[in-house]
């Protein structure tokens, strides 16, 4: 395994390009199973989660091949309905195979997925939504087994106590595109990644309206066809670079991202005293005063994203006053807090709430990454810390960030990788 080492204390300056969205690429790659024709997907991030998804598609019988580093072509002419545990266990998002496999083959066998350890992430709403379309489910030896005679459109409510389910919404949309009749999804997830999936499916011939709103309407069609599609920018990667500028007192331009997708983060960073300017697909982040404390409540889009909570907490740890984070999406998603405390942060976690008292300086330390966004937070903290920070288990960060160390070096950071002894 590898570790990332950072010599902190350098303000970041320069321009960085945000890559394609992992969270958009995974369901879109899964959706290629809905047609036997060729689909070409560009701006695909070269990260381990995407590599796992490509391997799963290949195991299912699809001809999936990279045309270059960030372009994948998939032709799923003859496919099987069983996704293996050895691949699925490594990535929770593989649950989005349920919808397209049921839509295409009317049956599937998918191992219960793994992924980050950030608290319970049930797939009950996925099963419930697909069940209402006419699919029948059983759990056999750790596998979700499903079949249907015919998928039929209906009204499906995906509301839960933690908000709308993104992957659940995507699963239902994919299955409903080839179901008989009309499907209405209430309390649908509104994330940009859902909109991007809908856009891809529409290019394939699907009839979808309302994506990006709480109510989505899908009129089923008999078959979908191949197409070409470019993945949207990764708003979480872009946001991570913005917090890197914030914590180091830097001045950077993040290119290729949609400021509308980052509105909630921009609003909080401005309240903390940052100067942020944007036009079209560029965002400039500049720090010219001490960081102020603030309060954040994570919510489904368009609220503050849970996937930016850990990175912003690292920034909050150097605020002049106290800050508060209330985690409403994944209430147990605070495993990074203890590692930030090892670096000198003052953080107390009680239930779904973290209280952060700002300190003047963080200190480099050996820390352990527990999940994808927690590892990003430790990198952010290490960029500002006095001395050397060593981050272990960095395979987590490679799940969702393409060459993050190289991109940070281009902004002036002293960051490199070494093999664990």
Check 116, 227, 233, 257 and give the catalytic one: 116
CB proximity list for 258: less than 8 A, separation 6 or greater: 192, 232, 233, 235, 281
116 catalytic per annotation: yes
Q: In what order do the strands lie in the sheet with 228-230?
A: 63-68, 71-75, 38-42, 228-230
Coil, helix or strand at residue 46: coil
Q: How many CB atoms lie within 10 A of CB 359?
A: 15
Interatomic CA distance for residues 244 and 285, integer angstroms? 10
Distances (CA, A) of 347 to 106, 113, 318, 323, 365: 49, 32, 11, 9, 16
| Partners of 196 in beta bridges | none
Interatomic CA distance for residues 357 and 359, integer angstroms? 7
DSSP state for residue 292 in the 8-state scheme: P
Report the number of secondary-structure helices (H) and strands (E) in the chain.
14, 24
CB proximity list for 161: less than 8 A, separation 6 or greater: none
Q: How many CB atoms lie within 10 A of CB 108?
A: 28
Interatomic CA distance for residues 244 and 236, integer angstroms? 12
Interatomic CA distance for residues 175 and 204, integer angstroms? 14
CB proximity list for 325: less than 8 A, separation 6 or greater: 295, 296, 297, 298, 309, 312, 313, 316, 353, 354, 356
CB proximity list for 91: less than 8 A, separation 6 or greater: 26, 49, 52, 53, 113, 114, 115, 399
Long-range contacts at 72-76 (CB < 8 A, ≥ 24 apart): 72/29, 72/40, 72/41, 72/44, 73/38, 73/39, 73/40, 73/41, 74/29, 74/32, 74/38, 74/39, 74/41, 75/36, 75/37, 75/38, 75/39, 75/226, 76/32, 76/33, 76/35, 76/36, 76/104
Active site residues: 116
């Amino acid at each position: 395994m590898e570790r990332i080492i950072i010599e902190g204390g350098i303000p970041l300056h320069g321009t960085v390009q945000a890559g394609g969205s992992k969270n958009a690429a995974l369901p879109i790659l899964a959706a290629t199973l809905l047609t036997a024709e060729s689909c070409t997907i560009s701006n695909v991030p070269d990260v381990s989660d995407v590599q796992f998804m490509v391997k799963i598609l290949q195991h299912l019988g699809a001809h999936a091949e990279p045309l270059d580093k960030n372009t994948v072509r998939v032709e799923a002419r003859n496919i099987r309905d069983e996704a293996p545990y050895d691949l699925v266990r490594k990535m929770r998002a593989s649950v989005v195979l349920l919808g397209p496999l049921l839509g295409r083959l009317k049956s599937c066998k998918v191992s219960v997925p793994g992924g980050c350890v950030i608290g319970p992430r049930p797939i009950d709403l996925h099963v419930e939504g697909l069940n209402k379309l006419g699919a029948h489910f059983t759990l056999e030896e750790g596998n979700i087994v499903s079949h249907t005679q015919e998928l039929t459109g209906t009204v499906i409510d995906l509301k839960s106590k933690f908000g709308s389910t993104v992957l659940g919404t995507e699963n239902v949309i994919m299955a409903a595109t080839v179901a008989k009749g009309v499907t209405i999804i209430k309390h649908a997830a509104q994330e940009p990644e859902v909109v991007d999936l809908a856009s891809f499916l529409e290019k394939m011939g699907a009839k979808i309206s309302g994506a990006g709103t709480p109510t989505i309407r899908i009129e089923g069609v008999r078959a979908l066809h191949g197409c070409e599609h470019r993945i949207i920018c990764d708003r979480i990667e872009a946001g991570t670079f913005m917090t890197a500028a914030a914590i180091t007192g830097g001045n950077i331009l993040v290119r290729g991202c949609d400021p509308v997708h980052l509105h909630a983060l921009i609003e909080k960073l401005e309240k903390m005293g940052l100067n942020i300017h944007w036009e079209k697909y560029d965002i400039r982040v500049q720090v010219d005063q001490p960081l102020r404390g603030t309060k954040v409540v994570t919510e489904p889009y368009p609220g503050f994203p849970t996937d930016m909570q850990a990175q912003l907490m690292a920034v909050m740890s150097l605020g002049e006053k106290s800050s508060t984070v209330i985690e409403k999406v994944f209430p147990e998603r605070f495993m990074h807090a203890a590692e930030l405390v090892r670096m000198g942060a003052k953080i107390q976690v009680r239930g779904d709430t973290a209280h952060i008292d700002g300190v003047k300086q963080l200190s480099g330390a050996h820390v352990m990454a527990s999940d994808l966004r927690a590892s990003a937070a430790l990198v952010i903290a290490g960029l500002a810390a006095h001395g050397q920070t060593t981050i272990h288990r960095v395979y987590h960060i490679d799940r969702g960030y393409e060459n993050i160390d190289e991109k940070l070096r281009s902004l002036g950071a002293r960051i490199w990788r070494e093999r664990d002894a």
